[in-house]
A and B are shown apart, each in its own frame.
Chain A
Amino acid sequence: MGLRELLGLPPKPPKKKAAEAPAKQDPDAYEDAKAQYDKLIKHPQFDKLPKGARAKLDAAREEASGLQAHEKYEVAAKRLRDAVAEAAKTLVQVGTAAKDMKAARTRVSGLLDGARLLGVPKKHIEALKARHDKIVLDADEDIIGAALAMQQMASDLAKDPQILAAKAARDRVLSDQTKVEAAAAKALKVPTETPEVLKLNRLLANAVPLIGFHAGKTNFVEALRHLENCEKWVAAIAAQAADLKVSIKLRDQILARRKKIDGDVTNARAVFGMDKESEALVERFQRIDKAFEGAMYVRDYKVASTYLDTLESLAKQVAALKPQIDARLKLAAESKKLFGELKAGWNIIRSTRDVTSDMEKAYAAAKEKYIQFIDLINEYKHEEANALGPEVSAAFETHGKAAAAARAELDKIKQANDLWDAKGKARYIKALKLNPCLPEMSEAIAKMKASLKTHDKKTDAKDYDGALKDLQEVINQLDIIDGLVKKDSQAKQDRSAARKEFKKGTKDFDAVLAIKANTPEMFSKTEKFRREYDDIRAAMRIGEAGTADRIKKLIAEAKEIQKGKAENAKQAAAASRAYEEKAKAGEAAFVAARTAARNFQPDSNELLQELLDLAKDMINIAKARHCLKAIEVCDQITEVVKQINGKIPEWTAAAEARKENNAKRLAAVNKDYAAAKKFEPVSPEIDALLKSIEVNVAAFNTASKAKEHGKAETHMDALEKDLAALLKLKSTHDKLKGDKKWVDDKKTAIGTDVEDAIDGWALLPETQDIQSRMSYAKSQADGAYTAPDYEKARRYWADLDGLLPQWTAKQADNDKALTDEVRDVNKAYDSFETERQTVGAMKPITPELKKLFKYYWAASKRFWAAYSGLDWTLALEAVAEYEAAAKALAAKKSDFDAALVVGKAKSAAAIAELGPISDADLKKKTATEKLDLLADLRAAGQPEDAAELKAYKKLQRKLYNAIEYDAEFKEADEKRRDALVDTLKKDKDVTEARGKWGKMTDEQRLAVLLKVMNAECKVYDIPPPKVRLFCQPPGDEGYFSGSTMTLNLNTHPYSGWSDYKEAVNTVIHENMHNYQAVLERRLEEGILTEDDPVYVQAMIFAANQEPGGYVDTDEKPDPDEANQKPYKTQPIEAHAWDTGDGVSEELTKIKEPERKK
């Protein structure tokens, strides 16, 4: 369509000749142009005209309109015609552009969809989509420009590197997936017998299914990433072939040797320490046993082999104790039998009333012996317990003889018992179940209970005649109660009838109660109404006969009162004024009386309280606009003010007496205070008392100065109490002070030698043992000294005092063991002491430093394992790793210093935020925000200063307390827990064990518990840990060792092992720590990613497990955290307890009963 045609114009006229005369101003010419304009703007595509072209047209239209107004019709017409022609031309272009735009947009959308399907990164797709959307938006303004931009975008997309990469990824995945998966499947069959292959196997096993998973979602970029990783790991496994051969050979050698000592190890695991020496031996055996199992678990066979000699030697020594343990258990069985016999005798004594002083004495002696016997059993001192048995029996016999001599008094008790059994007990319990309506019935029940209490008291006071009388009174009251049962039933019926009637009047009653009486007449009526209303409520409660009739009358009265409501309302302002005037008038007297009364506390307490209660009532009543009632209360206040003023002379005299009394007491208190001043804060209890004393002294002085002698007296009372408590602790104090001095002297005498011994080279198993015991004793002693617990500190310094000569005695032999190869190792170790010191001054406060520290600690552990195992070849190899790790870390000292500056600022900000925030507000933060706060708090590492460390730990506990389960994790975890319960409930071996646990052998029990553990591992998708049994007197029930990946269970016959519920609970609880450790490792190895439902919770667990992040049981909460056990509620423990208890409860709980209706 041509332009003219588009505009609906006639064919083009011939061109004008140049010489033609100027056109005549013809108004019709303009009208024609205007008609063309109007036609154009009605064109269906006109709104697609670009903004600029539209503006130009509008400007021409306005200009033409102006010219037309000046009758320049021809010029106006030309201006408008030209503009219309140009716009029409653009409109034609718009049409073309719209077609181009549509085509380009389709192409771009297709390319974008394709890119999405190829797994081009989301961010890139989003950027492209944003570009596309902007062009589409621009098209509204400028379709021509937009069409060009869209065409350009289509062209760009065809060359987009990320899309091209995704295409390449698709091609690669489609072509190589099967090949790589096959290679991976083969690699996964390679025995995981080096630490490296073990790790690669874990990574590969996780990555292989992800190729197919992402390819299935057409995310080829991600699929390729996993495919390439798999290729890399397959190659790395292949590269381990040589190491594997060596490793497998070494493993076989180790297993062969281990098999030879299996009998000793099994026996040794059933042995526990019976004295200090054997405890130390067993402890060493257990440590080496666990370390060996741990090294085998992580396939570090070189390290495992270093333990074998020691393990063999220790297992033999410990297993040799087995007969003693068996004898001990036999003794335990004997003492258990003896306990059963003595318990029966004790129960007779316990249920016999001591009626003579001989019986009392005999009871006290029997009790002392019996408790001594019980204590010995609880401490597992069965030999001593059994030896004590005859003495306990003799003491019981003495009591029996004393009881026989007191037959007359005992008969009275018997008489009471018989009366109670025959006429009392059953009726009494029945009476307690009554819900009486009648006051006399309630009164009889109260009297019955009171008489029984008096009976008990008199029995305690050995007034058996009096007690019998009281018991008779209980029976009398029971007779009264029985006699009232019918009447009470009638009263209940009356009460029911009254309640029905009352309901009818509720609306009228409420209306009257809502009236604010403003006139004396209304006040009198409503007050009378209120009195009757309250009386009726009381009568109704006790089922008083005739109450229903009274209610009917009250309803009528209420209706009558309401008639005066309008008149009453008119007087509201006057009543309010009257109240204000009254209140104002009494204000000064009230204040003066209140001040005076406060000065004379506690003598004035009663009147002061009455005054304050009335004032509070008055204000509340006035606020509710019951002004006349408020005036009445104001009058009552005036009465109390008068009483207070009248009492002042009496109180003044009493205050003087108190002053004198205080002065008299002061001399004695000052004497005690002077004695208290000599005390030192040698225990937390004494420290608290000393502080309280100082607070009361200051408060006493202040009160005395203000002449508030009553208050001063209160502080004097508290002071006397504290001083008495403190002085009572004099011998404890002196002993602890003595202990402190003893420790201080000992430190001076042997402190340096002890430190030298701990830092020295221990080259023999014996010297290593002594050294490790000294090291433990020293750390305990230091901790106890700081606590302060000087008694404990002394105990450990006494241990050190005993161990030091042993060390000295072995020093010559130890020095002889210093061979050339040991010297080489020592020399290599000494060569990087500077770096170790540098590392000692650093903390793992950045991700990079954390990684390096982990490597450093692992290298150190490996070195010391080789050193302790006296494997000098491995030690030399390990020391090189250790040195490299130390140097790598020390090289980052400047990074650490810089991070510390930033970290300190972050930590300070976190402390400032965490300190004041309420627990509730902290809980409202998201898990990520809380983790960020925790990271900031730790940004400078743990503080060195004890007070700062205490505050830091408290904030850490506060944060843990506020961290709840991540919602996504919780949902997934609950499903797993349910699945585990289902699995266990379906397993007959597990469910049937419940009924026969007591008869099962240890092997049978272990088989059931392994089923429980393996089911848990399957449901939670984690590898089963190595299970190691041990035996020691109950206490430690079991634990999961993350460093050795072993689950350790106590099999002592009196431990939870003997109880099905507890044993299952322990396994589930401890295996959850395995799960948490696996999550942490998966997080570290990048297997867990942000899109995983357990990711956030794994971050929480990892934060809890960071160095210094675990709340130990000896971390004492502050007084404001009373009754909290933060070590049980920190994230990893809370989760283990919840799962253990949750699953075992589900397994053992009974069927839910029907709720009561």
Chain B
Amino acid sequence: MTRTTPLRIVYIFDDGDEVDLASGTIDTEGVIAVEMMTEGEEESVETVVRELNASERVFVRDMSNESGLDRPALTKRPIERGMPGFLEELVATARRFYKVELRFDLSQLESRGASFSLPDDVIAPEEDDDELLDAPDSGYGTGDDSEPAEESDADSAYRT
């Protein structure tokens, strides 16, 4: 029996902007099951999910000169599916090669038993479709033509 937890697949643009591609579940083995896909993104989602689900292992990349070479070699330490650390590196792999982020609560998969809570970023609240109010509060400010007190009033007895 494997545990599953809700998953969002989010595309990350170079400027940090993001778009939801799909939602579904991921299990302790890192197997992704898609339940809902954004219209028009079906092919992309299927490619990512098919290739990630087919990966027997993922790789932690670094450099090392443990082998006594003249120069450090590029190292890729494999983590077999099901091994500790696989899920974290699966997330990094998805980001590195497909520019997508797999968002899920890892602790849900690692917990043993009836732990049901979810962190807030796994489920995003719907956006307020009403126009947001940008009214200032009634504070007194520091005056348009004055510096912050900490700097300009260094010689005041009331300095903090």
Show the binding face of A for B, using Cβ within 8 Å. 283, 336, 339-340, 343, 347-348, 350-354, 374, 377-378, 413, 416-417, 420, 424-425, 428-429, 432-435, 449, 452-453, 455-456, 459-460, 467, 471, 492, 495-496, 499, 502, 506, 509-510, 513, 530, 533-534, 537, 540-541, 583, 587-588, 590-591, 612-613, 615-616, 618-621, 623-626, 629, 637, 776, 998, 1032, 1034-1039, 1041-1043, 1054-1056, 1058-1059, 1061-1062, 1066, 1069-1070, 1110, 1112-1114, 1125, 1127-1128, 1133, 1141, 1144-1145, 1148-1156
User: Can you list 22 pairs linking A and B with CB atoms under 8 Å apart?
Assistant: A336-B80, A351-B1, A351-B2, A432-B123, A433-B123, A452-B117, A455-B116, A456-B116, A459-B115, A471-B116, A502-B133, A534-B137, A540-B133, A616-B160, A619-B149, A623-B146, A624-B146, A1036-B75, A1054-B57, A1054-B80, A1154-B40, A1155-B13
B150 engages A537 (CB within 8 Å): no
| Residues A1155 and B17 in contact in the complex (CB < 8 Å), given A449-B117, A467-B114, A537-B135 | yes
Taking CB atoms, residues of chain A closer than 8 Å to B11 are 1150, 1152-1153
Q: How far is the CA of A1155 from the CA of B17 in the complex (A)?
A: 8
Q: Which residue of A lies closest to B153 (CB)?
A: A619
A626 engages B73 (CB within 8 Å): no
List residues 128-160 of chain B with CB under 8 A from any CB of chain A.
128, 130-131, 133, 135-138, 140-143, 146-150, 152-153, 156-160
Taking CB atoms, residues of chain B closer than 8 Å to A1156 are 19
A1114 engages B140 (CB within 8 Å): no
Taking CB atoms, residues of chain B closer than 8 Å to A452 are 116-117
Q: Which residue of A lies closest to B66 (CB)?
A: A1035
Q: How far is the CA of A460 from the CA of B112 in the complex (A)?
A: 9
Q: How far is the CA of A351 from the CA of B2 in the complex (A)?
A: 7
- CB of A1148 to closest CB in B, whole Å: 4
Q: How far is the CA of A1070 from the CA of B73 in the complex (A)?
A: 9
A1059 engages B28 (CB within 8 Å): no
Question: CB-CB contacts of B41-73 with A at 8 A, as 1s and 0s?
Answer: 101110110000011110100111111111111
Q: Which residue of A lies closest to B95 (CB)?
A: A1145
A612 engages B65 (CB within 8 Å): no
Q: How far is the CA of A1112 from the CA of B99 in the complex (A)?
A: 30
Taking CB atoms, residues of chain B closer than 8 Å to A530 are 138
- CB of B18 to closest CB in A, whole Å: 9
Q: Which residue of B lies closest to A1113 (CB)?
A: B72
B98 engages A1149 (CB within 8 Å): yes
A352, A434, A621, A626: the one contacting B125 at CB < 8 Å is A434
Q: How far is the CA of A1035 from the CA of B127 in the complex (A)?
A: 46
Q: How far is the CA of A1153 from the CA of B47 in the complex (A)?
A: 14
A1149 engages B66 (CB within 8 Å): no
How big is the B interface, by class?
Answer: 35 or more
- CB of B148 to closest CB in A, whole Å: 7
| Residues A1153 and B140 in contact in the complex (CB < 8 Å), given A374-B84, A618-B158, A1112-B72 | no
Taking CB atoms, residues of chain A closer than 8 Å to B47 are 1150
Taking CB atoms, residues of chain B closer than 8 Å to A1153 are 11, 19, 21, 38, 40-41, 44
| Residues A456 and B6 in contact in the complex (CB < 8 Å), given A615-B158, A1153-B19 | no
| Residues A1055 and B3 in contact in the complex (CB < 8 Å), given A432-B123, A1062-B59 | no
Taking CB atoms, residues of chain B closer than 8 Å to A509 are 135
Q: Which residue of B lies closest to A283 (CB)?
A: B68
Taking CB atoms, residues of chain B closer than 8 Å to A435 are 125-128
B70 engages A351 (CB within 8 Å): no
A1152 engages B13 (CB within 8 Å): yes
B6, B73, B131: the one contacting A429 at CB < 8 Å is B6
A629 engages B63 (CB within 8 Å): no
Taking CB atoms, residues of chain A closer than 8 Å to B17 are 1155
Given contacts A534-B138, A1149-B97, A1150-B45, 5 further A-B contacts (CB under 8 A): A374-B83, A583-B158, A621-B140, A1150-B99, A1150-B100
B55, B116, B140: the one contacting A1059 at CB < 8 Å is B55
B141 engages A1150 (CB within 8 Å): no
- CB of B146 to closest CB in A, whole Å: 4
Q: Which residue of A lies closest to B54 (CB)?
A: A998
Q: How far is the CA of A392 from the CA of B6 in the complex (A)?
A: 31
